[in-house]
Amino acid sequence: MLVRCATVASGTRRAPASAPPWVGMVALALGAGCGTPNPGIIDATEEARGVVPNELDAELSEQDKIHALIERVRRSEHVFVHEEIERTGKAAANKLQLLLERDPTGMRNAREFIERVAAPQREGDAPDRVVLSEEESMLARYWYETQLAEIEGRPAPPTDPDDARQAQEHARRLAILDALRIVENSEHLFVAPPRRVGTKPIESKPAPTTGARRTRKPKRKEYTGPQFADMLRTKWEYLGADIEQLDTFIDEIASASFTSLVRYRVVKANGSEEDFEEWLREQLATERLRLARGDAPR
């Protein structure tokens, strides 16, 4: 039997007085159901507006969970490192949404979304991570699995301390490699102090006319970006292999010569010079801002 809901301007429609009592009970039950939306179904206009289903709903679909994960990323204040590129929560969420839309096969569930899109494991590459503060980060996969556990209302999965430690160590070394990459890609010249040869001044060959011997002042050595980066990398490997902190690397490896303690310099296109450490720290700060906006690394 097909039953239609009647729209009443005001009041409640009553059954006729002559009708049996059960008719009024049926009408009351039908009236309670009519016009009340199913809480498990998203209205078409609501879906078009991008409204996220309530995470507390026990009937969340796997697609609902995926969208809830993306929204948690969007609202997060952490930095998300995906494929060695740093992004804010908003930029990371936009990237995840784009990857999800471009996936030709579709995601069967939220866990597959984490494993294939949000935090995939790539052989030979650094694992994705979430930077919680300047001194703390965690594997991105564990962060997503923890968020999914909260969405599903179950306990968070245990983390492996060794995995977390290795990820943090790798992240620290990546910061040093990022600094070397900035130097390598630079078009400036970099100057190191002249190399000392014993304690005696370097002597030039006798002049062809008078035969007099004279001394000459050693010249500073100039490097291109790739040459200077390679020199610093070699110095790091042989003299500071245990250094993992970026600040320590800059202070002990990349600021001055070990032998003379003369500081390295940067020669710009207009001929002006700048202290290398100050230049490098400024470049690193600029790079962090670029990556936070979702730009590609230089």
Q: What is the pLDDT of residues 45-94, one digit of tens each?
A: 333 334 455 555 457 888 999 999 999 999 999 999 988 889 999 999 99
Question: Residue 98: which domain range?
Answer: 61-159
User: For the chain, what is the domain count?
Assistant: 2
Give me the helices (H) in 35-188, please: 44-48, 62-75, 89-102, 110-113, 140-152, 161-184
User: Does residue 267 lie within any of the structural domains?
Assistant: yes
Residues 232 and 141 in one domain: no
What distance lies between CA 290 and its chain's CA centroid?
Answer: 12
Q: 125 with 225, same domain? A: no
Which residues does 116 contact at the CB level (< 8 Å), separation at least 6?
103, 107
Largest CA distance in the chain: 139
Domain boundary among 108, 134, 159: 159
100 and 191 in a single domain? The answer is no
Spacing of C-alpha 298 from chain mean position? 15
Same domain as 141, residue 177? no
> Looking at residue 103, what is its pLDDT?
81
Residue 246 shares a structural domain with residue 180: yes
pLDDT in the model for residue 279: 95
Rounded (to 5) percent helix, strand, coil in the chain: 45, 10, 45
Which strands form 85-87's sheet, in the order they lie side by side? 85-87, 79-82, 129-131, 137-139
Packed helices 140-152 and 62-75: angle between N→C axes, nearest 10 degrees:
120
> What is the residue-level pLDDT of the chain in tens, covering all 298 positions?
333 343 333 343 444 444 454 444 434 444 444 444 433 333 333 333 344 555 554 578 889 999 999 999 999 999 999 888 899 999 999 999 999 888 877 788 898 999 889 988 777 677 888 998 887 888 898 899 889 989 988 887 766 666 656 666 666 777 888 899 999 999 999 999 876 554 444 444 555 555 555 555 667 889 999 999 999 999 998 888 788 888 899 999 999 988 788 999 999 889 899 999 999 999 988 887 776 565 655 6
User: Are 125 and 83 in contact, with CB atoms under 8 Å apart?
Assistant: yes
* 69, 289, 131, 143 alpha-carbon torsion, rounded to 10°: 10
Query: What gap in Å lies between CA 180 and CA 233, rounded to an integer?
Result: 7
Map tokens 């100050």 to a residue: 278
Do 119 and 177 lie in a common domain?
A: no
**One domain for residues 104 and 191:** no
Is 211 inside any structural domain? no
* Among 107, 137, 159, residue at a domain's last position: 159
Residue 126 falls within a domain, yes or no? yes
pLDDT at position 288 is 74
